[in-house]
Amino acid sequence: MRHSRIKKTKTVCTYCGVGCSFEIWTKDREILKVEPQVDAPVNSISTCVKGKFGWDFVNSEERLTQPLIRKGDRFVESTWEEALDLVASGLQKIKEKHGADSIGFIASSKCTNEENYLFQKLSRAVFGTNNVDNCSRYCQSPATAGLLRTVGIGGDSGTIEDLQKSDFVLIIGANPAESHPVLATRIKRSHKLHGQKLAVIDLRRNEMAERADLFLHPKPGTDLVLLSAVTKYIVDQGWHDPSFIEQRVNSFDKYLPSLEKFTLDYAEEITGIAKEEIIRLAQMIHEADTMCICWAMGVTQHIAGTDTSTAISNLLLITGNYGKPGAGAFPLRGHNNVQGASDFGTMPAWFPGYEPVEHDEVRARYEKAWGVTLPKKPGFNNHQMVEAITKGKIKAMYLFGEDMALVDSNSNYVESAFEMLDFFVVQDVFFSRTARYADVVLPAAPSLEKEGTFTNTERRIQRFYQVFEPLGESKPDWVIIQEVANKMGANWNYQHPSEIMAEASKLAPVFAGVSYERLEGWNSQLWPVAPDGLDSPLLYTERFGFPDGKARLYPVDWTPPYEPGAEYDIHLNNGRLLEHFHEGNLTYRSKGITHKVPQPWVEISPELAEERGIKDGSLVSLTSPYGKVEVRALVTDNVAKNELYLTMNTTDENQAVNRLTSSYHDKITHTPNYKEMSVKLEIV
Ligand code: SF4
């Protein structure tokens, strides 16, 4: 009898943008343990609960293991041949009848760089449309846009090491202790042991706020006013960095008048923060030689998400906090590969490496390499695709690794749009809420069943290796995408993801020196990577990302947040749970996690609970103009009196926050304003 052996395989965690890597010990298909290693570049010997216990979903009996085809109201299993023929003929018919731009492609920030590269190639080169986007549209697009306006590159300007080294860390609208736990641990350590100062601006007294030297709770949607008032006060006191501005920044004189209105009196009135506290924050910044600012969805998921992100970057520029160790901008990426999905071109206006589709020279480079004529006009983003379905302009969609029916805002509206599609292909590991609207469902393999690379929040590209064979007839997403392309008449012949990366690195200058050989084992590379393999942990040491090498101060004004009406009297905030990931389709199927935290809840202040007769564990309903949910209450002073906090990770559509959110969005990027909602609260 042959005994199977214990196998150790290096993998990269798929549960947040920190990008921890570790060895996973297995025997046959059993996961024995997760063991972090000192060689891991980000986390060394640390992981959080998700990285440690979140993997047994791979053996779930609910996995999709065979293609499914819709027959009337039900799905039946099919062969791959039959399913792929149907995908190709269904999409081809729509293209012939309504044109290439009547098809939309939704990519996945949970899937690999290579899979995202291939998917945008499928959309552009095989179908002829730039209608391709990924879920950074739901989270960090405004941060990228704010950085592109001011410093010219949309990624984090430094590494987690810089956060650890910094004299002062300011966290705005983020809760890294739950959303980016290993990164938070590094800040906690520096704060506790090495004299680092910490300030938190948030609606919720989260764990980092509890630890902070200063915690400010502004009125919802007023962060831009607070940041601009701090910036103005710093300039008025002469605490800015004139020599940095003189040498490295354009447009200081043009920018200054935009600060005039942000006086301490105005800021106190709009934000509800006392003038003395605003001054205290300015003083903390002044006293620090180096400052890092971290922000996430509490900033970006607003009508003014891009403008507030711009105000953050303006503050860093005014104080000379770019291009030196321990300083810089840190928009914390949520999904494991939200950075990489965007980097590798699943965006409607950009080729891989953020080169514009409208740029003739860039397009010509891709046309030559791919042997096709490419569309010039930027496509629809995912918000615009939903709108276009309702207007009859988008007739078909191909989506992979994204449960858009649960994660897009105003989900009742999104689902009604999906019902209008003539043809819909969904590719995923599990039968998602979105799959209910599909004509064909293709079974995909998760990260443990394939190879590839992910890019973390620091722009760090890392390899991971195959642990198991794909379950049943499921296949890696890159294999399925290639098979769809070839059914459409392409002649792709990638044998391994390394060949896809080799093509991307030839075409996109920022990845010029990226290769699987250089990424072997625990090695990693932070883009931009020069042809000789030299990478870039710290950006802007000599030049900013504009042709003249100088940064730009960008004037911004405040836009008040959306309010649905007086009858919706309680502000609703939302965010992640430490133990779960996104729509929960993986972690709720991992026993080690779901036993600990089986369902979401809404946090309610003791004052509000008493006023409404609500106790810990009471079932309450939340109603907005767009829908209703019922969840259990947790009474806590984490939240202020008339504010609620609903944990967002759930597979239960009746508890999903996006039953409540609206279709309003950031003015520039169309990122939904998930954080701007008020509701009626009632006990059930
Ligand atoms: Fe995974 Fe993020 Fe936890 Fe690291 S911090 S183990 S990447 S979820």
Between CA 364 and CA 351 the distance in angstroms is 12
- Cα–Cα separations (whole angstroms), residue 111 to 116, 353, 383, 673: 7, 17, 20, 25
| Residues in CB range of 537: below 8 A, 6 or more apart | 158, 159, 161, 458, 526
What are the structure tokens assigned to 247, written together? 């040498």
Cβ-defined contacts of 257-262 (< 8 Å, 24+): 257/555, 258/555, 258/556, 258/557, 259/228, 259/231, 259/232, 259/235, 260/232, 261/557, 262/225, 262/228, 262/229, 262/231, 262/232
Question: C-alpha angle 463/466/467, rounded to 5°?
Answer: 125
CA 110–ligand 1 middle distance (angstroms): 13
Q: How far is CA 237 from the centre of its chain?
A: 37
Ligand 1 atom 3: residue of nearest CA: 48
- Average model confidence (pLDDT) for the chain? 96
Which ligand 1 atom minimizes the distance to the CA of 15?
Answer: 8
Percent of the chain with pLDDT over 70: 100
Q: Tell me what ipTM this predicted complex has.
A: 0.99
Percent composition of the chain: helix, strand, coil (DSSP 3-state, to 5): 35, 20, 45
Taking 80 as the threshold, does the pLDDT of residue 26 lie above it?
Answer: yes
Strands in 132-133's sheet, in edge-to-edge order, are 74-77, 68-71, 440-443, 423-428, 396-400, 103-106, 132-133
Which ligand 1 atom minimizes the distance to the CA of 581?
Answer: 8
Pocket residues: Cβ below 6 A from ligand 1: 13, 15-16, 18-20, 43, 47-48, 50-51, 180-182
Which ligand 1 atom minimizes the distance to the CA of 456?
Answer: 7
SS3 214: strand
Ligand 1 atom 2: residue of nearest CA: 16
Query: Is 0.80 surpassed by the pTM of this model?
Result: yes
CA 431–ligand 1 middle distance (angstroms): 25
Which ligand 1 atom minimizes the distance to the CA of 43?
Answer: 4
CA 537–ligand 1 middle distance (angstroms): 20
Taking 80 as the threshold, does the pLDDT of residue 350 lie above it?
Answer: yes
Which ligand 1 atom minimizes the distance to the CA of 49?
Answer: 3
Note the pLDDT tens digit of each residue in 435-490.
999 999 999 999 999 999 999 999 999 999 999 999 999 999 999 999 999 999 99
User: DSSP per residue over 179-214, as a string?
Assistant: HSHHHHHHHHHHHHHS--EEEEE-SS--HHHHH-SE
CA 340–ligand 1 middle distance (angstroms): 16
Note the pLDDT of residue 338.
94
Between CA 474 and CA 442 the distance in angstroms is 8
CA 290–ligand 1 middle distance (angstroms): 26
Between CA 504 and CA 500 the distance in angstroms is 6
Residue 557 burial (CB count, 10 A) = 13
CA 13–ligand 1 middle distance (angstroms): 6
Note the pLDDT of residue 129.
98
Percent of the chain with pLDDT over 90: 93
Between CA 354 and CA 350 the distance in angstroms is 5
- Cα–Cα separations (whole angstroms), residue 521 to 146, 453, 465, 518, 530: 35, 12, 9, 9, 20
Note the pLDDT of residue 486.
98
Question: What is the CATH architecture of 68-138+343-526?
Answer: 3-Layer(aba) Sandwich (3.40)
Contact yes or no for 642/657 (Cβ under 8 A): no
Between CA 537 and CA 325 the distance in angstroms is 10
Backbone φ/ψ region at 472: left (φ over 0), alpha (ψ -120 to 50), beta: left
CA 50–ligand 1 middle distance (angstroms): 6
CA 15–ligand 1 middle distance (angstroms): 6
Residue that is written with structure tokens 């012939």 in the block: 96
Rg (CA), the chain: 24
Which ligand 1 atom minimizes the distance to the CA of 42?
Answer: 4
Contact yes or no for 576/175 (Cβ under 8 A): yes
Q: Among candidates 529, 512, 548, 417, which has minimal Cα distance to 106?
A: 417
Contact yes or no for 647/594 (Cβ under 8 A): no
345 exposed, middle or buried (CB, 10 Å; 0-12, 13-18, 19+)?
buried
Domain boundaries, the chain: 6-59, 68-138+343-526, 144-332, 570-683
What are the structure tokens assigned to 34, written together? 């997760």
Q: Among candidates 78, 35, 106, which has minimal Cα distance to 398?
A: 106
* Best mutation site among 11, 12, 13 for ligand 1 pocket (most ligand atoms within 8 Å of CB): 13
CA 387–ligand 1 middle distance (angstroms): 34
CA 277–ligand 1 middle distance (angstroms): 34
CA 184–ligand 1 middle distance (angstroms): 10
Which residues, listed in sequence order, are joined to residue 635 by a DSSP beta bridge?
604
Q: 6-59 — its CATH code?
A: 2.20.25.90
246 exposed, middle or buried (CB, 10 Å; 0-12, 13-18, 19+)?
exposed
Between CA 293 and CA 278 the distance in angstroms is 16
Taking 80 as the threshold, does the pLDDT of residue 4 lie above it?
Answer: no
Ligand 1 atom 8: residue of nearest CA: 15
Note the pLDDT tens digit of each residue in 377-389.
999 999 999 999 9
CA 406–ligand 1 middle distance (angstroms): 23
Q: 570-683 — its CATH code?
A: 2.40.40.20
Note the pLDDT of residue 650.
84
Ligand 1 atom 4: residue of nearest CA: 20
- Cα–Cα separations (whole angstroms), residue 149 to 142, 215, 466: 11, 29, 40
Contact yes or no for 514/529 (Cβ under 8 A): yes
What are the structure tokens assigned to 670, written together? 């169309």
* Best mutation site among 11, 14, 16 for ligand 1 pocket (most ligand atoms within 8 Å of CB): 16
Question: C-alpha angle 323/15/175, rounded to 5°?
Answer: 60
37 exposed, middle or buried (CB, 10 Å; 0-12, 13-18, 19+)?
middle
CA 12–ligand 1 middle distance (angstroms): 9
Question: C-alpha angle 343/348/353, rounded to 5°?
Answer: 25
Which ligand 1 atom minimizes the distance to the CA of 183?
Answer: 5
CA 191–ligand 1 middle distance (angstroms): 20
* Best mutation site among 10, 20, 447 for ligand 1 pocket (most ligand atoms within 8 Å of CB): 20
Note the pLDDT of residue 576.
87
Which residues, listed in sequence order, are joined to residue 95 by a DSSP beta bridge?
none
Between CA 314 and CA 298 the distance in angstroms is 18
| Residues in CB range of 522: below 8 A, 6 or more apart | 10, 21, 37, 39, 40, 41
Note the pLDDT tens digit of each residue in 637-653.
999 999 999 998 888 88
User: DSSP per residue over 27-43, as a string?
Assistant: ETTEEEEEE--TT-TTT
Taking 60 as the threshold, does the pLDDT of residue 1 lie above it?
Answer: no
* Best mutation site among 15, 33, 35 for ligand 1 pocket (most ligand atoms within 8 Å of CB): 15
pLDDT, mean of residues 497-518 = 98
Residue 244 burial (CB count, 10 A) = 18
Between CA 85 and CA 653 the distance in angstroms is 32
Max Cα distance, the chain (Å): 81
pLDDT, mean of residues 305-331 = 98
Which ligand 1 atom minimizes the distance to the CA of 48?
Answer: 3
Which ligand 1 atom minimizes the distance to the CA of 181?
Answer: 5
| Residues in CB range of 361: below 8 A, 6 or more apart | none
Q: Among candidates 606, 608, 607, 588, which has minimal Cα distance to 598?
A: 588
CA 462–ligand 1 middle distance (angstroms): 14
CA 178–ligand 1 middle distance (angstroms): 10
Q: How confident is the model at residue 366 (pLDDT cuts 50, 70, 90)?
A: very high
Note the pLDDT of residue 2.
60
Residue that is written with structure tokens 């196998």 in the block: 7
Q: Among candidates 12, 19, 7, 150, which has minimal Cα distance to 526?
A: 19
Which ligand 1 atom minimizes the distance to the CA of 47?
Answer: 6
Question: What is the CATH architecture of 144-332?
Answer: 3-Layer(aba) Sandwich (3.40)
CA 464–ligand 1 middle distance (angstroms): 15
* Best mutation site among 48, 55, 577, 590 for ligand 1 pocket (most ligand atoms within 8 Å of CB): 48
Which ligand 1 atom minimizes the distance to the CA of 180?
Answer: 5
* Cα torsion 20, 21, 23, 27: sign: positive
CA 16–ligand 1 middle distance (angstroms): 5
* Cα torsion 255, 257, 261, 265: sign: positive
Note the pLDDT tens digit of each residue in 151-201.
999 999 999 999 999 999 999 999 999 999 999 999 999 999 999 999 999
* Cα torsion 89, 90, 91, 97: sign: positive
Which ligand 1 atom minimizes the distance to the CA of 336?
Answer: 7
H-run or E-run covering 416: helix 411-418
Which residues, listed in sequence order, are joined to residue 241 by a DSSP beta bridge?
none
pLDDT, mean of residues 5-16 = 96
Between CA 9 and CA 674 the distance in angstroms is 38
* Best mutation site among 10, 14, 37, 50 for ligand 1 pocket (most ligand atoms within 8 Å of CB): 50
Which ligand 1 atom minimizes the distance to the CA of 16?
Answer: 2
Q: How confident is the model at residue 3 (pLDDT cuts 50, 70, 90)?
A: low
The torsion angles phi and psi of 398, rounded to 5 degrees, stand at -130, 120
